[in-house]
Amino acid sequence: MGYIGALIIGLILGLTGGGGSILTVPILVYVLGFNPITATAYSLFIVGTTSAFGATQNFFKGMVDLKKGFLFAVPSFIAVYLTRRYLVPKLPDVIFSVSGFSITKEFFLMVLFAIIMLFAALSMLKKKRFNATPSVKNESKPLFIVQTFGVGILIGLVGAGGGFLIIPSLVFFAKLSMRKAVATSLFIIALNSLIGFTGDIQTLEIDWYFLLTFTSLSVIGIFIGIYLNKFLNEAQLKKGFGYFVLLMALFILTKEFFGL
């Protein structure tokens, strides 16, 4: 089941430009039995490597906006690295306790992951239309950079590539079309995830055999997804992406709170 999931992770990344980590973390935690700290670290490598292959293919098709990609990626990957290297290892095993109920680090990270997914899904499913006006204006760039740094911290905490956060930002703030946002997000995800993972190498023991095997299957999936992507229109991609993220968020919250 886990290795079938690896193929599906790549497929979803190829189709939507994000969502791979949304599936990666639950598969590693609930199917393969990794603890959330290790799972979020492995997720960064799996999604980052898979996205790098997808971004390369999209770049040669002229679909990756490098200028906007770097504008988003640089502050976010700095934040991801700092979060994985220094913040996550410093989180206490028990965040706090209330009336005998303890909020553990693992529970906190999984619930935070689901809540972020929930808000991202709702933002993508809104009916409001956004016109394709020029990109981020100069006066808004400092605010955009601060926002992306904050996104990087969230990505680092939950071990996600961040496509479910990056794509709405590229569509709403950078004014990219959905198809270009999908392609550019793979480039950003690759940088964010692989640089963030270097912070985990210094603090965790890595099972490279498992990680490379799982990632190889995911890479196969992304090539299939990119091929299928051209048969879907932008409205279908946006709507499908939003509903997928919403369902996964509800699944994780149900699993964490009720243990179902």
Give the DSSP letter of residue 61: T
Q: Sketch the domain layout of the chain as residue ranges.
A: 2-258
| Residue 97 CB neighbours (<10 A) | 10
**Averaged pLDDT, groups of 10, the chain, 260 residues long:** 87 70 82 88 88 86 86 84 86 80 83 82 66 47 76 78 72 78 85 85 89 93 82 71 83 80
Closest CA to 40 of 204, 228, 256, 231: 204
Question: What is the end-to-end Cα distance of the chain in Å, rounded?
Answer: 18
CB 159 within 8 A of CB 192: no
pLDDT of residue 131: 45
pLDDT of residue 20: 66
> Maximum Cα–Cα distance for the chain, whole Å?
57
Cα–Cα dist 112/249, whole Å? 10
pLDDT of residue 128: 52
Q: Which residue has the tokens 């599936």?
A: 23
Cα–Cα dist 109/103, whole Å? 10
pLDDT of residue 216: 94
HSE-CB of 137 using CA atoms within 13 angstroms = 3
Tokens of 142: 């400092």
pLDDT of residue 136: 47
